[in-house]
Structure 1
C-alpha cells in the first residue's frame, strides 16, 4: 500500500473514532476552552517584557527594547536580596513542608474506626479553607507583643519577641503557618492512594511478625512512592511561584530585608508604580527559572526513581 493511502486510512479511522465518541470530546471542551483562554491567550502579553510599553500606543505600537528590562533587573542592587529571599522561602518551605502531608496520611491510614478517622480529617482539612487575610490577621493577633504566645515568652524570659517586625523570624513564621494551613489538605491525595492498598498485604505481614513501622516502610511507602515523585517534581517546578498575597500582608517596614520577594516586588513595580514592561520582564524571568527547575528536578528524580518521573 502506498504511503498516501495509509495516511488516508489512518485519518478515516480517527474521524470514525471521534464521531463515535463525540460526547467525550464535548465533556473536555469546556476545560480545554478555559485553558486556552486563561492560560495560552495571555502569553501574548509577554511581549511587553521586550518593549518600552506605552498604554497609548498599545503592545504592537510600542518600541522594541530587547532584553533591556531583564538587564536592568539583573544589574539592580535589589536583585541579589530579592532572588535569595524568594529562593530561601521556597526551598525551606518545600523541604519542611513536603514530608508533613505524607506523614499525616500514613498516620490517618492507621486509624481503623471510620467515625474517628473522619473527624480527624475534618480538623486537619479545615485550615485550608481559611482566607489568607484571616490567617495573617490571626498571626498578628497571636504573635503581637501583647498576644498569647508572647505572654508565655514573657513569663519565661521577661521580654516579648517581635516575631513580625524582626527579619530573622519572618521566614519561620511564614513557612510554619503555611505548613499548618496546607498540610492536611495536601495529604488527601496520599490518603486516597493508601486506601487502594490490599488489606491482605497488611494481614500477611502481621502474621509474619511485622510491626506497624515495618508495614509502613515495606507496604505503604512503596505504594505511594510514584505519587511522591510526581508531587515533588511539581512542587520543585513551582519553587519560585510563591503567591504575593501572604508575604505582602505580612510585610512591615522592619522585616523587608527578608520579606521582599519577587512576587511582591513585581506587584509594587507593576501595579503600584505602573511600570508594566519592567514588571512583566521580572515575572517572565521568574517563569523561566521555574521551567528550568522543573526539567532539572524531573531528570534527577527519574535517575533516582528507576526512570519514573513526570514525563
Structure 2
C-alpha cells in the first residue's frame, strides 16, 4: 500500500525525467544506435514522402509541390501497359524460385554444418561458402559471363568433347537456372551464419537427453534442431516475403542481355529504364509503390497465417 501511495504521488513530469536520466546513464548505447536511426530516417522514412509523385505528372522544374495532380492516371497507365503482365510474370516466377529453392538452402547447410564435429573443418567450410557474399554482383556477373562465354570454361569443356560453342548468356532458357544458381552461390553461405547462431542457442541438455534415449544424429536433427529452428526460419521468411516483387536490381541487371529480356526483365530493371534512362519519374514511382503495396499485403497475410497455425506466431 505504501508503494502504491508513493507511486500515486509521483509528479507527472517524473516519467520524462526518468527517461532523461536513463539516456544520460546509457548514452554510449544511444550514440551507437544513432547511425542506424539516421539511416532509417534518411533512406527509408523521408523518401516515403516522394510516393506522392506517383499521383502527379511530376516535373523536375516544378518540384513535388508544384507538379500537376493527376490522381490514379499513372496506375491506369501501368496496368494497361503492353509489357506489364510480362514483367509481372517474370518477377513472380523468379520470386517463387527464390522462395522455394534458394531460401531453404541455408537451412539445410546450417543443419549439415552443425553435425560437423571438427571445428577447424567446420569454420573453414563456413568461411569458404561465405566469401561470395562479400563480392558485388558486378564481379559475379563478370565471372559468369567469362565462364559461359566463347573461350570460357564451359565452352572449352564442350569443345574438348567435340561439341560446338553455346552462347548460354544469350539463351532465354538458361537465364532462370543461372539466376537461381548464382543466388545460392552468393547468398546461401551468409544465411548459414544466422541459423548457426540460432542453433548454438539450443540447450545442450536436450541433445544429451535424446542421446540417453538412444536417438541417432538424424533423429536429433529432425526432432530437436529443426523444430527449434522453425521460429527463426519463419521470421526470415516473413522478412523475405515482403520483398517478393523486389528481387534486386544489381543481380538481374548484371546477368541479363537484350536477347533474354523476355524472361529476365523485372520491375526493378524496368523502373531503371523508365525512371533513370527515360526520365518518366512519376511512372517509375508508380511501379515502385505497386511493389511496396504488394509486399505489405504479403507480409500481413503470411503473418496472420503464421499466428494462426504456429505457436510461436509471426512478427507481431
TM-score, with structure 2 as normaliser: 0.91
From 258, 263, 268, the equivalent of 2:268 is 263
Q: What displacement does 1:309 show?
A: 0.6
Shift of 1:30: 3.6
CA distance in 2, matches of 1:274, 1:209: 67
The number of residues matched between the two structures is 306
Q: Could you tell me which residue of structure 1 aligns to residue 139 of structure 2?
A: 134
1:270 to 1:209, Cα distance in 2 relative to 1, 3 A = same
Cα distance 1:292–1:11, how it changes in 2: closer, same or farther (>3 A)? farther
Aligned equivalent of 1:61, options 60, 63, 66: 66
Deviation of 1:278 (Å): 1.0
What is the CA distance between 1:259 and its match in structure 2?
A: 0.9
1:179 alignment partner, one of 181, 184, 187: 184
Distance apart, 1:208 and its partner CA: 1.9
Instruction: Give the equivalent residue in structure 1 for 2:36.
Output: 31
**Shift in CA distance, 31/8, structure 1 to aligned 2, threshold 3 Å:** farther
Distance 1:58 1:39 in 2: 20
Structure 1 unaligned regions, length at least 5: 1-5
Number of the residue aligned with 1:20: 21
RMSD: 2.0
Give CA-to-partner distance per residue, 1:196-229, whole Å, 9 cap, x none: 2222322222232211110001111122111011
Q: Secondary structure at the match of 1:238?
A: coil
Question: Which position in structure 1 is the counterpart of 2:238?
Answer: 233
- Whether the 8 Å CA contact 2:231–2:312 is kept in 1: the answer is no
- 1:46 deviates by 1.2
CA apart distance, 1:138: 0.8
Relative to structure 1, is the Cα distance of residues 302 and 10 closer, same or farther in structure 2, using a 3 angstrom cutoff?
farther
- Please give the per-residue CA displacement for 1:108-146, whole angstroms capped at 9, x wherever unaligned: 111222222211111111110111111001111111243
Structure 2 unpaired stretches of 5+: 1-6
1:300 equivalenced with 2:305 (yes/no): yes
Find the counterpart in structure 1 of residue 94 from structure 2.
89
Corresponding residue of 1:49:
54
Give deviations 1:231-282, integer Å, cap 9, x for gaps: 1111111111121122112221211100111010000001001111111111
Task: Output the CA distance in 1 between the equivalents of 2:209 and 2:151.
Answer: 56
User: How far apart are 1:158 and its partner, in Å?
Assistant: 2.4
Q: Which moved more, 1:153-162 or 1:95-104?
A: 153-162
Match of 1:80 in 2: 85
Tell whether the 8 Å contact from 1:93 to 1:175 is kept in structure 2 after alignment. Answer: yes
Other-structure match for 2:256? 251
Following superposition, the deviation at residue 293 of structure 1 comes to: 1.0
The answer as to 2:219 corresponding to 1:218 is no
TM-score (normalised: structure 1): 0.92
Tell me the distance in 1 between the aligned counterparts of 2:14 and 2:158: 73
